[in-house]
Structure 1
Amino acid sequence: MPDFLKEYFLGIADSLQTTLKTPDAYLNKVALTAVVLVIGIALYMLLKKMLARSVKNFTKKIQLHKAAKQTMGTLTIVSVLFIWVQAINVLVLIALLFGMIAVFMVRGLTSNIIGYFVIKYRKYFEIGHRVEINEIIGDVIEINSTSFKLLEVRNGLSSDAHTGRIIKLPNSIIFNESIEMVGVANRFVWHEVKYVVSFDSNWQAAEQIMTEAGASYFEEIVLPELQQTNRRLLNGQSELRPVFSIDTNDAGIVLVLRYLVDYQQGVSAKTTLQRTILPQFIEHPNIEFAIVEVKVFQG
């Protein structure tokens, strides 16, 4: 702390100590403080009743209650300071307080503005890109000088659908948190459809149905999109084709088809594949979905 501030606060401490050593002055200030507190509380209660009678909108009423409470609290604190500390010292304390608040505000504002230039000119992400920050997933819909907004995705939903909620985050968050970005260099991500069939099912037939559906989806939807948006990926075309895998669990045989999809079309792509695969599974005489048995124990 600078020397002038130390001297200033030491002077205030000496003044308060002198007051405490003078019984009459001490008692007078205690009495005045009590009166100020009572008046402050009474005025706040009066304002609260007036707002309850005159304001009908619930949200506006809550906001005005909060503003009244903060205003009366500030005025009461300033009045108490005037009682216990010299007027000039009170003004200096208030100025220091506002100065500290301004420093913190400017510091936060500066970080957000720097974050804005990093996002825009380093092409960190752009409107339409999907980002994940602190388990928050969303598509960027706005970037301004202090913050950016995400249209939330997933958050409890079983697919990559928008929840309808908009999340606002400060630009400075890019300096403090790790960010996963989709759509910056490549719009395509891997998704999967999964089925569990019984152990006595013809899983080879199920595999054929799923792989054929995946191949048709790749040829009709993914390849044309790659040719338009990212021809560079076509060099490794064999690695982009759908991948089938098989596993088992207690319920049955787990069949999984992993496929490439534009991150903004995850729901429609899965629906397309389900509509192709499910009817064939149902019509096949030797493919049955596994049934999970639920045992109820009676005490």
Structure 2
Amino acid sequence: MTTLELIKEWIKDNTFIWSIVKFIIVLVIVLSVIQIIRGYLKRKISNTVVRYKAQKGIEILGYVLLVILAITYFSGSIKDFTIIIGLFTAGLAFTLQELILSIAGSLYIFLVKVYKPGDRIEINGIKGDVIDVDSIYTTMMEIGEWVSSDNYSGRIVKLSNAFVFKGPIYNYSKDFPFIWDEFNLPIRYGSDVELAKSIIIKIASETLSEYTANSKAQWKSVVNKYYIEDAQIDPTLAISITDNWIQFNLRYIVDFKKRRYIKHHLNDKIRVEFENTKGKIILASTTIELVKIPDIKINLNKDNIT
């Protein structure tokens, strides 16, 4: 018996194995076509948002096509296909619980719109900007950690989509892409408090006018959508008296990605205006000021020396 005849005989006796081999070949071809189309879209589409959505759409369509091909391919060659699928699903659910939960999480993210690429979120104690969401992982550009404020640390984090079912998700930008921020200004006693108040409010109103106007319209839609009370959007100033100084607390609304820059800008402009008052307003500090050295009396009377 020749080699060719042996191969034909083996194929005849192992129909199921040969069917799997053919399906793997089809699988490789479909996946290759998906990657080619994704590469073509990446080169041809210049808009980042449109390019990302187009690539994701092709990827999802490819996965759906593979599932349909698998069902139609095997259902015609295997008896009791439903029983086999049931046993296979049960075993898969037991051994790949985390993977299945991740896939379910990705569907939940897309359908409920928990977050999307471009959103800033905090999940499982990790904070960052979402740069990709696939069928298993959410990819984030991390912020914080050893870097102060909301700066990128440089680390890219891949997080299982299963975590959307395991804890709270903080979204900085969904529905309302603004956040409230605040900082304190210690003013020395004896300063012109009314002048300080007018300077701070004036600078805050001028600097934050664009954010205030844009956020008011969006806040109305949030109030209409959720059971939430209306909030103060304009910059507010609260004063409290401490043992050491008069504390000014400035609270304001700002774009979630501009928090650090705006805080720096406000502090710098307020500092310059305070210095221009020529001593009418002085910032306080915890520095100890030595006013007078106490007098020291030394008795050098010889009679007291033994």
Q: Which residue of 2 aligns with 1:187?
A: 177
**How far does residue 279 in structure 1 lie from its aligned partner after superposition?**
0.2
- Contact 1:130/1:140, CA 8 A, preserved across alignment: yes
* Map 1:261-280 → 2, pairs under 5 A: 261-280=254-273
Q: 1:233 to 1:283 in 2, by over 3 A?
A: farther
Match among 130, 134, 146 for residue 136 of structure 2: 146
Q: 1:198 to 1:223 in 2, by over 3 A?
A: closer
Q: Deviations over 1:50-100 (max 9, x none)?
A: xxxxxxxxxxxxxxxxxxxxxxxxxxxxxxxxxxxxxxxxxxxxxxxxxxx
* Map 1:233-244 → 2, pairs under 5 A: 239-244=232-237
- Contact 2:212/2:234, CA 8 A, preserved across alignment: no
Percent identical residues:
26
**How far does residue 190 in structure 1 lie from its aligned partner after superposition?**
0.2
| Structure 1: stretches of 5+ with no match in the other structure | 1-100
**How far does residue 229 in structure 1 lie from its aligned partner after superposition?**
6.7
Structure 1 CA distance for aligned equivalents of residues 222 and 168 of structure 2: 26
Structure 2 CA distance for aligned equivalents of residues 167 and 231 of structure 1: 34
Partner SS state of residue 137, structure 1: strand
- Output the amino acid matched with 2:237: F
Q: 1:261 to 1:232 in 2, by over 3 A?
A: same
Structure 1 CA distance for aligned equivalents of residues 221 and 167 of structure 2: 31
**How far does residue 104 in structure 1 lie from its aligned partner after superposition?**
6.0
- Contact 1:195/1:255, CA 8 A, preserved across alignment: yes
Partner SS state of residue 172, structure 1: helix
- Contact 1:226/1:233, CA 8 A, preserved across alignment: no
TM-score normalised by the chain length of structure 1: 0.57
- Output the amino acid matched with 1:183: S
Q: 1:112 to 1:237 in 2, by over 3 A?
A: closer
Q: Which residue of 2 aligns with 1:292?
A: 286
| Structure 2: stretches of 5+ with no match in the other structure | 1-90, 290-306
Are 2:211 and 1:222 equivalent residues in the alignment? yes
* Map 1:74-93 → 2, pairs under 5 A: none
**How far does residue 225 in structure 1 lie from its aligned partner after superposition?**
3.7
Q: Which residue of 2 aligns with 1:200?
A: 190
**How far does residue 144 in structure 1 lie from its aligned partner after superposition?**
1.1
TM-score normalised by the chain length of structure 2: 0.56
Structure 2 CA distance for aligned equivalents of residues 192 and 165 of structure 1: 28
- Contact 2:146/2:153, CA 8 A, preserved across alignment: no
Q: 1:157 to 1:198 in 2, by over 3 A?
A: farther
Cα RMSD after superposing both structures: 3.1
Structure 1 CA distance for aligned equivalents of residues 176 and 231 of structure 2: 17
* Map 1:1-299 → 2, pairs under 5 A: 106-219=96-209, 221-223=210-212, 225-226=214-215, 232=221, 239-284=232-277, 285-293=279-287
Q: Which structure carries more helix by proportion?
A: 1
Give the number of equivalent residue pairs.
195
Q: 1:157 to 1:188 in 2, by over 3 A?
A: same
